[in-house]
Structure 1
Amino acid sequence: MSQEWVDEIESAEPVIAALADGGWMSGPRLAVQLGVSRSAVSARVARLRAAGIDIYAVSGKGYRLAGPVDLLEARAIRGELSPAHSARLDQLILRQTVDSTNSVLAGYRDGAIRACLAERQTAGRGRAGRAWVSPFAANLYLSVAYELAVPKAPVATVSLAVGVAMAEALDALGVPDVGVKWPNDLWIGQDKVGGILTEARAEAGGGARLIVGLGLNVAMPRSADGIDQPWTHLVDHLPQPCSRSVLAGRCLDAVLEALTRFEHAGFEPFLARWTAFDRVAGQAVDLVDGAHRRSGVARGIGSDGSLRIEIDGREQAVYAGDISVRLAPS
């Protein structure tokens, strides 16, 4: 881009930043550190609680969060990008609370390559309009806006390409047993650890403006509600601790690499790489399309990103957005 962009970074709420280590801090000390009155501290704590942030208060001890929080740091995120990707990323946006990171990027129309991360989403979205549970400072909520001049493959295959890149990034971090489940899920073992939501807008001349959203469970509380399938989080699988900022940078770098490769070569370079992580191929599956359910055996994916399903001895192509796929009970 010819225009010079400046990263847009929203600082953490001061009370949260002060209590981020998870320890107790007295009301007077907190007031002095924030440069406000004791009553102002109480009012800020009340607002944070109303927003769903757990803050405990005990007479004689003061305040503390439910546990330590690992807040995102823009410089550390940028520091994990390759020089080429850092140069191509026009703007990094870091916010504390958004409705969804995809929605933030949808508000721009200037063609810049942007990434948006947030500590919390109030209306996170998954595939088919499902809600994406997005508690504060527990996971990664990341979206990238990217413009394809002339797509060399169906735009629907972008989610698969990014899924491959993310599986490889987690594998490089030492996460064992990483897999992909068509069309947009990341797994560890047989449990979901993340998902990808790609939205596209047609542009003049046959191009497409993509917004690729990634949700990754990092330290999701086990008490989280609203999840209707087996899931896991990265903290149980990383061989050594990794800050959320480093993880965010590695994931952003992987997404940018996937989009750059997809822009130049389409989906073909990702096809064999998908096969190496495919958790559905060879499995008995149920295809759920509205009120209809059919059973078959998954036979991998096609070059157009379709899932190949064998039903009653005949192979059929299933496309993202038409049918949901769940592994059939063994």
Structure 2
Amino acid sequence: MKSKRNAIPGTLMYTGDSTKETVIQHMKYNAKTYDVFESVQPLQDDVVDWIAVEGLSTESKVKELCESFQMDPLVIEDILHVNQRTKIEIHDGYIFTVIKYAYVRDDIIQHDYISMVLFHNVFLTFSEQKNLFIEQVHERIQHTKSLIRHFDHDYLFYVLFDMIVDESMDVLHVLDARLDVVEESVLELDEKDQIRLYNIRKELIFLRSMTSQLMMNNIKEVVLKESYFSSQTHKFYDDVYDHLLNINARVLSLLDNAKHLLDVYMNNMSNKMNKIMTLLTIFSAIFIPLSFIAGVFGMNFTNFPILTNQYGLIYFILICVLIPTIMLVYFKVKKWF
């Protein structure tokens, strides 16, 4: 990812890694018609205008489009700076939204980024590459009976917003299932399981960040106060906000669970280490008197009666067996192992 360090505020620089060429599609639709153009067309009052930009590598093309709608230079900078936090900003004449989200494909959690700009008469989306949700909305719009065809730009904003939130719910279910698997074998975790647990916690923190930022911006109040949203769509945004609250509460619960499992894992590792140290200490304690006896018998005294006794070796072996046995019995009675 490119760095904007030391860059002047307002400097337009795409900070992502994608090399996809910037492609602009302009969709026009209403209840009766649906048309797609490969360039920006004049806006019309009787249709919904949706301009979708895929690929941000051609900075001049993005700048030209945004300036044609008189967007603030700092907003254009934020669109190209894909490492932005999730946020909603209200500007003079439009609402600017950035969402960094997670989604699941083939049981793999991936991250993506989308910027959305809602005007009274046009809706714009910006993504680094081909966006899964935008493609799905395209397919839905092509059907004449689709509900999207009967609503205005604010409903289109809601549809994308709702799809991202619903996908976050799916990510949460996957993380919950993975956490359950780890929890079932928490006392037998190995290093790979520990890495899995850390990855789960990292994804949960990502979801918490996304939902917290959206709740902090309070999308519900924005919808009620701003004229960009019709009263017909208020109930839809209420539903999305409820989903956000649900996700945030569930994420916090799973984070606590993940932290608890990590604590259990660390305690289990500590207990295993303590058992090993206890075992080594017992072995050391047993061999201390044996080493002393061996040292005594190894001294070169000229008058050492037991060495000349025909049963001396037997006595020595009995002593070496008896002392450890007594010590082990004593340790067992004391429940030291």
User: Same fold per TM (> 0.5)?
Assistant: no
Structure 1 or 2: more helix by fraction: 2
TM bin (shorter chain): under 0.3
Larger RCO (alpha carbons 8 Å, 6+ apart): 1
TM-score where L is the length of structure 2:
0.24
TM-score where L is the length of structure 1:
0.24
